[in-house]
């Protein structure tokens, strides 16, 4: 499941039980009868959870389970849940281009429904399956079809095998996250926030109960979502630009009570499928480092060096395949330890990139970290979703919790290009590396364990890196501000059959 930086939490509801919204009815009206049947199964499943939750007493069983211990034990081995996420998003000037396609103004809704089940026949075995559907309705731009009915995806289908308390192996489609998701989080970047799964085998070993763990992972991703576990009502959506095979070795150890280190090695083999796909073998060596002073100050840093080969004639037409790149992501955080849990931080990130005349490829590969880590809006120079690189980012942020369950956060970011690879290209400066100012803020609120919501806003002021041509063209908005707004409501039912919240 995706870990959104804008996790949801709403204040607009007075009832603790779910209600049907007009927006959801409007979206479902045009889904089509076959999709509707499948969705109804998922929604009815949610209705069962809602009835079970009517007691609203965690840990309390229904009378039928109280009468039969064997039935209770059977249900305790089975956990299930559903979440329904509704978003309205408005975007202006996202590509700094006044043309359609790609679109200068966006207004659309997206509705995602997920249903998951976990069966644990014994303490050593666990089986998981999760289904996901996300449909969209576009008001603008006109180049987009009004309704995108999408498909039902097997978002998770895995088995977990435990070998005592010290080792576990997970086989199949699963979620994988390391650290804050800088390099390993999203295995399906082309479908946006709908899914983030990996087809993988993962072994986790606890080293002698010392708090140290070793993860060994093999990944085999395909661009074509139909190649395995074909979606229901498939739309043949590509989930990445290339087929990918990889391996991860990650060792997490605590150096002392205040310091943790996670060195890692990552290998990724790419075989291009789409026009902007990569070919080559990328080797990444890096480490995460977290330290707290024991008082108010914490420090996080992650650095990685990449070598090997990376060919992409669409994105790097003048560079050779030989790769030498690096990235650093760091942050100092100060916790005020006041009643509102206020925090402030300073961050710095650098991702290497290519100069226009550089013969060698220095473009940092974000691997499986192509998601909205710090911005939904910030223009993508290479036109590959989430493919952040060639960047220096300075960040100042602050957050506090004015109410129980509510988080308010604001960030100011100054952005520079690492190198000016677009020198001589219309719409870009020949000299300036200053990309601009980025402001992001959100309010998230969890009303109760079922309802949550979010308001997220972003505003980008382009710098000298972007240049408006002297002649009239679609690029006349290169130096105009860009804006993003998201309104989100999430309804979640989880483990209601046992009365226990996960």
Distance CA 320, CA 100 (A): 34
Residue in this structure with the two tokens 């990130």, named with its chain if needed: 349
Residue 25 has pLDDT above 80, yes or no: no
Check residue 410 and give its pLDDT: 98
Check residue 474 and give its pLDDT: 85
Query: What are 365's two structure tokens?
Result: 């590969």
- For residue range 419-464, what is the model confidence (pLDDT) as tens digits? 988 888 888 998 899 999 999 999 999 999 999 999 999 999 999 9
Query: What are 81's two structure tokens?
Result: 């849940």
Check residue 381 and give its pLDDT: 61
Residue 36 has pLDDT above 70, yes or no: no
What is the pLDDT averaged over residues 101-110?
A: 93
CB atoms within 10 A of CB 208: 8
What is the pLDDT averaged over residues 21-26?
A: 38
What is the pLDDT averaged over residues 136-161?
A: 93
| Higher pLDDT pick, 466 / 496 | 466
Residue 138 has pLDDT above 90, yes or no: yes
Query: What structural domains and CATH numbers belong to the chain?
Result: 22-494 (2.40.160.100)
* Minimum mean pLDDT range among 117-121, 416-420, 421-425: 421-425
- For residue range 348-379, what is the model confidence (pLDDT) as tens digits? 999 999 988 888 899 999 999 999 999 998 86
**3-state DSSP helix/strand/coil % of the chain, to nearest 5:** 10, 45, 40
**Secondary structure letter of residue 353 according to DSSP:** -
Check residue 245 and give its pLDDT: 98
CA torsion 218-224-228-230 (nearest 10°) is 140
* Minimum mean pLDDT range among 15-24, 152-161, 228-237, 294-303: 15-24
- For residue range 9-22, what is the model confidence (pLDDT) as tens digits? 333 333 333 333 33
* CB-based burial label for 319 (10 Å; 0-12, 13-18, 19+): buried
Residue 73 has pLDDT above 70, yes or no: no
Distance CA 246, CA 214 (A): 17
* CB-based burial label for 183 (10 Å; 0-12, 13-18, 19+): buried
Residue 2 has pLDDT above 90, yes or no: no
What is the b/e burial string over 16-35, where b = at least 16 CB atoms within 10 angstroms of the residue's CB? Answer: eebeeeebbeebbeebeeeb
Task: Record the pTM.
Answer: 0.83
What is the pLDDT averaged over residues 141-164?
A: 93
Residue 47 has pLDDT above 60, yes or no: no
Residue 254 has pLDDT above 60, yes or no: yes
How many Cα atoms are found within 13 Å in the side-chain-facing hemisphere of 466? 23
User: Residues with Cβ < 8 Å from 472, sequence gap 6 or more?
Assistant: none
Distance CA 472, CA 482 (A): 20
Residue 320 has pLDDT above 60, yes or no: yes
Size (the chain), residues: 502
CB atoms within 10 A of CB 476: 14
What is the pLDDT averaged over residues 267-283?
A: 96
What is the pLDDT averaged over residues 59-84?
A: 60
Residue 496 has pLDDT above 60, yes or no: no
Reported as a pLDDT band with limits 50, 70 and 90, residue 382 is low
Check residue 379 and give its pLDDT: 66
Percentage of residues in the chain with pLDDT exceeding 70?
82
């Amino acid at each position: 499941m995706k870990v959104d930086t804008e996790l949801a939490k709403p204040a607009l509801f007075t009832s603790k039980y779910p209600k049907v919204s007009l927006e959801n009815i409007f979206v479902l009206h045009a889904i089509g009868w076959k999709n509707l049947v499948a969705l109804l199964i998922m929604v009815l499943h949610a209705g069962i959870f809602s009835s079970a939750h009517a007691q609203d007493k965690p840990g309390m069983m229904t009378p039928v389970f109280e009468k039969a211990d064997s039935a209770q034990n059977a249900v305790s081995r089975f956990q299930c849940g559903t979440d329904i996420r509704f978003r309205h998003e408005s975007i202006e000037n996202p590509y700094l281009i006044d043309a359609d396609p790609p679109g200068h103004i966006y207004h659309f809704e997206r509705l995602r429904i997920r249903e998951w089940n976990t069966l644990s026949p014994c303490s050593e075995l666990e089986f998981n399956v999760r289904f996901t559907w996300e449909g969209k309705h576009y008001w603008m731009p006109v180049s987009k079809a009004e309704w995108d009915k999408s498909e039902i995806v097997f978002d998770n289908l895995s088995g977990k095998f435990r070998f005592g308390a010290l080792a576990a192996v997970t086989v199949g489609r699963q979620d994988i996250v390391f650290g804050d998701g800088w390099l390993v989080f999203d295995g399906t970047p082309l479908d946006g926030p709908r899914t983030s799964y990996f087809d993988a085998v993962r072994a986790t070993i606890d080293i002698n109960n010392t708090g140290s763990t070793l993860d060994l992972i093999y990944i085999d991703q395909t661009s074509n979502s139909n190649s395995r576990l074909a979606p229901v009502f498939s739309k043949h959506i590509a989930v990445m630009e290339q087929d990918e095979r990889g391996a991860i070795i990650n060792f997490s150890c605590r150096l002392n009570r205040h310091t943790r280190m996670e060195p890692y090695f990552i290998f990724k083999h790419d075989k291009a499928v789409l026009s902007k796909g990569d070919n080559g073998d990328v080797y990444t060596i890096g480490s995460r480092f977290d330290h707290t002073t024991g008082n108010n100050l914490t420090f996080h840093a992650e650095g990685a060096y990449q070598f090997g080969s990376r060919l992409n004639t669409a994105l790097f037409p003048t560079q050779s395949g030989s790769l030498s790149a690096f990235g650093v992501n760091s942050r100092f955080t100060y916790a005020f330890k006041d009643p509102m849990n206020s925090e402030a931080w300073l961050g710095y990130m650098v991702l290497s990139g290519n100069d226009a005349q550089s013969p060698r490829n220095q473009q940092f590969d974000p691997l499986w970290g192509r998601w909205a880590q710090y911005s939904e809006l910030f223009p993508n120079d290479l036109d590959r979703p989430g493919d952040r690189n060639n960047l220096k980012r300075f960040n100042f942020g602050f957050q506090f919790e004015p109410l129980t369950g509510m988080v308010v956060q604001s960030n100011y970011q100054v952005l520079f290009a690492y190198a000016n690879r677009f020198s001589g290209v219309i719409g870009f400066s020949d000299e300036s590396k200053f990309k601009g100012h980025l402001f992001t803020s959100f309010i998230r609120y969890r009303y109760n364990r079922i309802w949550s919501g979010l308001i997220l806003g972003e505003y980008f002021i382009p710098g000298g890196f972007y240049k408006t041509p002297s002649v009239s063209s679609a690029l006349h908005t290169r130096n105009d501000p860009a804006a993003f707004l998201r309104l989100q409501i999430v309804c979640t039912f989880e483990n209601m059959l046992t009365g226990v919240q996960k």
